[in-house]
Structure 1
Amino acid sequence: MAPSYALLIDIAPADADRADFADTFTVIDPAQPALPVGELSAQRGDGVFESIGLIDGHAQEVTAHLERLAHSAELCDLPAPHLSQWRQAVAQVAAHAGAGEAVIKLVLSRGVEGGQSPTGWVTVAPATDFAASRADGIRVVTLDRGCPLDAPARAPWLLSGAKTLSYAVNMAALREAKRRGADDAIFTTSDGFVLEAPTASLILRRGDTFVTPAPTGGILHGTTQVSLFARLAAQGFAVAYEEVPASTLASADAAWLVSSVRLAAPIIDIDGLSLPLERELTASLNAYLLSGRD
């Protein structure tokens, strides 16, 4: 889906001493070419990004997304983004979204090969309609990510904890899931532990405890998962980060894939084994996620 509004950003240093960054934004036609051929985001996927849900013009949890953008940039040796500049860019594109659900994308690239400065842009576009996935659930398959659980600690250059533009593997996993008759996938380690989905975090319910795989395994720490854990804890539920053996997935009392745009999609089948669909609880989770969250 093509963006409906887009800004190019003249990247300011992280220590820039100014309050207004409006003159660093250039409105561009999202239907027209805007980046040079040498742009490394296109040539090598050399950059980082964030997707922010937008509900009736309200950008959800902007601070958490900006902090994760900065963390990804640090892991990739990119210049630290000036978060006030990016926050103002988010506000400007959000003002052009209108009612309903939309998605804002933030991209920070290394720029043109051989150049001296990074490239940044922010877009907004209508979100895909995920009503059916939220209400009726999704089927998933587990796919081996090809690395053991301790790989990120031993090989940080794999950038497992960064949200990079290099999403070819993630998209290949989604295509493989569909070839197997499923809607999505859950990555597992080669030594049998659960990681995350290609574009979402995993939450499991075991009785009154909600569990997600510990981010120490190179998992991208999901902003939506963190928000839901805070909500559930406030309601009196126990929440936990654990190493989750893949063999225990199908024994969960319920499970969801959660992300900033699809929100909470209940899992009704894992590798051909059925899981309960908790409609009332799922509706409650999504009602919260659709509320204005800062």
Structure 2
Amino acid sequence: MADKYLENKNKVVEFFQSLGLSNYESTVYQLLLKNRRAVSMLFISENTNVPRTNAYRICGQLRRLGLIEEIVKDKKKLVRASDLSHLELLVKDQKQKAFELGSSLPIIKKILTPQNAPQEGKTQISYFKGKDGIKQLLWNSLKAREILGYSFLAYEDSTDKKFAKKYREERWLRKIKNRDLLSDNDKYLTEKNLRLTKNLKVFALYRARYLPARKVNINHDLIVYNDVVAFYSWHKGEIFGVEIQNQDIAQLQKQVFELLWYQAKEPGTIIKSRKN
């Protein structure tokens, strides 16, 4: 029961985040929905971790979105949640904005693409820093038809859970194949994770094999796709990445990957051998 409650709570939080509400705005709005009556700023402050001075600003934003309304009672300004139909209108508005953005994207990309973009065969090197940088590095790989990788960290560790989920979903929606090589001492090599990759739809086009660390010591993440080789790792407590766009380098890395892939073992084989 507690797990179901937590799951539902997380779904609500993610829903409001998708609508652009901050954590504080989401907390205040949920409080007002729960009470279904007009309350003061003091009440909001006492029943949440939102300072009273911030409550005015937060309620102002929620009012502009049409989610709450302000009333005057006994010369006091109070707020209460609007009818849930206003929430539906906000969702429709977001969908319309997303449609308009999607329709405009091809034109915007054409405008923003430099006329003197590097020609095919030229080398480009890009550097990325911090978790936001790694998110960009990974998102760039969604241009691929297949991604070949050496995995050291899970996406949740190198970025965050929300991005990892979105990235995997987007990769699946775009029908991008993904093959990963991991060291056989990988902490994610468990029966539980093996079941996840078999049962979740986002892993439908994902395959992983494992190599003994004595053969290949995989100590950072590397991906190869199209004519790009990109890697990322930790240095002095901060994550960084490098993306190299060069057809010859990418081709060699693909050949090396294929050689190792056919030497690697299926995850179930490794797990079974550990038990024996």
TM-score by length of 2: 0.28
| Higher Cα Rg, which structure | 2
Greater strand content: 1
